[in-house]
Amino acid sequence: MEYLRTLGSAAVSTLVQKSGLNLPFYLGTKVASVDGLYTLYDGTKRDDGSLVSIFEYELNDSAKKNAKPLAQNALRKLRTTRHPDILKFMDAVESDSVIYIMTERVRPLQPELSKWASKSAQEKEDWLLWGLYRISVPLTFLNEACHSTHGKLTTSSIFISPSGEWKLGGLELTSNPKEENSVLYTMGGLFSGSSSWASPEVKQSGWPILKEFHPAVSDAYALGLLLHAVFNPSHPPPATAQPPHTPPSSASRGSIPQLVFPCYKKLLNPSPKSRMTAKDFLSVGMAETGFFVSNRLVKACLGLDNLTLSSEADKNLLLRTLKETASSFPPEFASYRILPSLLSALEFGGASAATILPLVLQFGANISPEEYPNVILTPLIKLYSSPDRGTRMALLEHLPEYGDKLDKKMVSEKIFPNLQTGFSDTVAVIREATVKSVILLAPKLSDRLLNNDLLRLLAKLQMDPEPSIRTNTCILIGRLGPSLGYNTKRKVLVPAFSRALKDTFVHARVAGLMAFMATIECFEIEEMAVKVIPNMSFTLVDKEKLVRDQAFKAIDLFLQKLESHVKSMVCGFQLPPVLSLTLL
């Protein structure tokens, strides 16, 4: 197997297939060797290229003679135990010599603990408590709903997802006392280092004694040890872990939060019948003033999980909290936990869309340029087809924040076909926002859309019942003028601006004059003299002074252009000398 790892993915796949195995993944970089039992690799799923993790259990290694039943147990439990906070099983490959288990992409907890050591005390405490919450939930599920004992709750059994969430793994010893051949009670003591997490009753009477107690008692003790390990990583195991298992003293608290310390002592109670369980620990933490319920990361996760079902008041409170504390969240949590939840909530539309979309763009600022199109733009583009006006309005209002990242194909093929419905929307504010958005998207429209489809839509809007929309449409055509095709300019600009000059709304007439001025370079000299100035001249006597003043400026600008041109013209006809007349 070591030889295979030195080869490229394609070579490995070829050799493995010849040996009878058909891998559903490409084996990547080695991440870690764990507990002397398996090796963790990064991998890529063969069928869609998604990122995965590969757990490799070598069964022929004489130093791992107990690996097979433990690996088979881990595989069986991962396949049958589904929970959001337990490592997600995806596929597996078994042979006589090796077992591969493919899961969602994760990384070990231990290196992450070292990285967080440099954070502030409060940041680290928030992160650790959130992690312990994420572990207490699936542990309670295993103990209570599955009537099982995890059996190996240590830092090596915990993994970190791309979003920074803790995931419970390490199910090699997970057992239900009612199942035949449960490995915990027969092989628990054979697992390397098992004495370090064994509870007092196990150390006294062996692993089979656990059958006499509730499945939670052993895991509860391990949870207490885990709590000590993550808050005090540089300290030795607590003295209570060894006989005579004296209760932890206040002096041994270290960095364990004051509110958590009473529960820590109860988790390490040497009496299994009096010991606090993971379920009890979770209940205390989630009480009204508990250490979990007040944790900002826990609150954010719970709020995001229930966002679509929350009342408007609760939803607005969560969104306001996210906005105010956005910079305090770990970057990976913001990008891969908060952001997907907000995008999902956007699909439901409603009044909150105007609040959610700015948050999406705010949290999306940390996404790399390579990932931005898939993570942010693809979901936003999909929302352009939403019938919800709140969502469409939010997309248009915040277009300046993401419009520069759109490419021509996105705009022409996916956005414009849905955007154009906004020009004829029955709600005026949507029509106006659609008009204003065009100037940002026009450079990325195809020539056909720009010179034909868009201009036909704008021609209709010049007769819109809303004066502001007619005015903005004229302004938009004026700004689009230089980018239009030669023939389109000849055909469209003068009629469009002339129509605005006859509008009953004062500012629409002013906009028409200013549009003529802004597009002066779009007109041929003859066109200025024959079409432009004659079509503007009647505004010199407009009843509104604002229009008259602008008209004189416009006429003067075009006359200057004509005068400049005339000076360069060659005189082709000579006048005869003037005869002097003498009066008789």
DSSP at 420: G
Confidence of residue 218 (pLDDT cuts 50, 70, 90): very high
Share of the chain above pLDDT 70, in %: 93
User: Alpha-carbon distance 420 to 434, whole Å?
Assistant: 8
Give residue 436's pLDDT: 95
Give residue 248's pLDDT: 86
Give residue 519's pLDDT: 96
- pLDDT tens digits for 290-322? 999 999 999 999 998 888 788 888 888 888 889
User: Alpha-carbon distance 220 to 214, whole Å?
Assistant: 11
Domain 109-285 has CATH 1.10.1740.10: no
From 375, 292, 337, 347, select the one nearest 84 (Cα to Cα): 337
Mean pLDDT of 56-66: 80
User: Alpha-carbon distance 227 to 155, whole Å?
Assistant: 10
Share of the chain above pLDDT 90, in %: 69
CATH number of 2-105: 3.30.200.20
DSSP at 571: P
Confidence of residue 2 (pLDDT cuts 50, 70, 90): very low
What residues pair up with 57 in beta bridges, in sequence order?
99
From 442, 441, 455, 468, select the one nearest 495 (Cα to Cα): 455
Give residue 13's pLDDT: 45
CB 317 within 8 A of CB 284: no
- pLDDT tens digits for 405-426? 999 999 999 999 999 999 999 9
| Joined tokens for residue 226 | 């885990």
67-71, 353-357, 572-576: the lowest-pLDDT one: 572-576
Give residue 21's pLDDT: 64
- pLDDT tens digits for 9-35? 444 444 344 345 678 999 999 999 988
What CA–CA distances, in Å, run from 239 to 196, 248, 268, 574? Answer: 12, 7, 11, 118
| Joined tokens for residue 513 | 């004059």
- pLDDT tens digits for 80-107? 999 999 999 999 999 888 999 999 999 9
| Joined tokens for residue 152 | 């190996």
Cα 467-470-475 angle, rounded to 5 deg: 125
- pLDDT tens digits for 506-565? 999 999 999 999 999 999 999 999 999 999 999 999 999 999 999 999 999 999 999 999
Mean pLDDT of 143-170: 96
The 10 Å CB-count burial string (b at 16+, else e) for 162-180 is: ebbbbbbbbbbbbbebeee
Give residue 104's pLDDT: 96
- pLDDT tens digits for 468-487? 999 999 999 999 999 999 99
User: Alpha-carbon distance 259 to 257, whole Å?
Assistant: 5
What CA–CA distances, in Å, run from 95 to 104, 195, 433, 580? Answer: 22, 31, 62, 121
7-11, 107-111, 131-135, 289-293: the lowest-pLDDT one: 7-11
Confidence of residue 571 (pLDDT cuts 50, 70, 90): low
Mean pLDDT of 220-244: 91
Which of 2-11, 95-104, 574-583 reaches the highest mean pLDDT?
Answer: 95-104
3-class secondary-structure state, position 101: strand
CB 25 within 8 A of CB 43: yes
User: Alpha-carbon distance 449 to 443, whole Å?
Assistant: 11
First to last CA, the chain: 128
Domain boundaries, the chain: 2-105, 109-285, 295-405, 449-565
Question: For domain 449-565, which architecture applies?
Answer: Alpha Horseshoe (1.25)
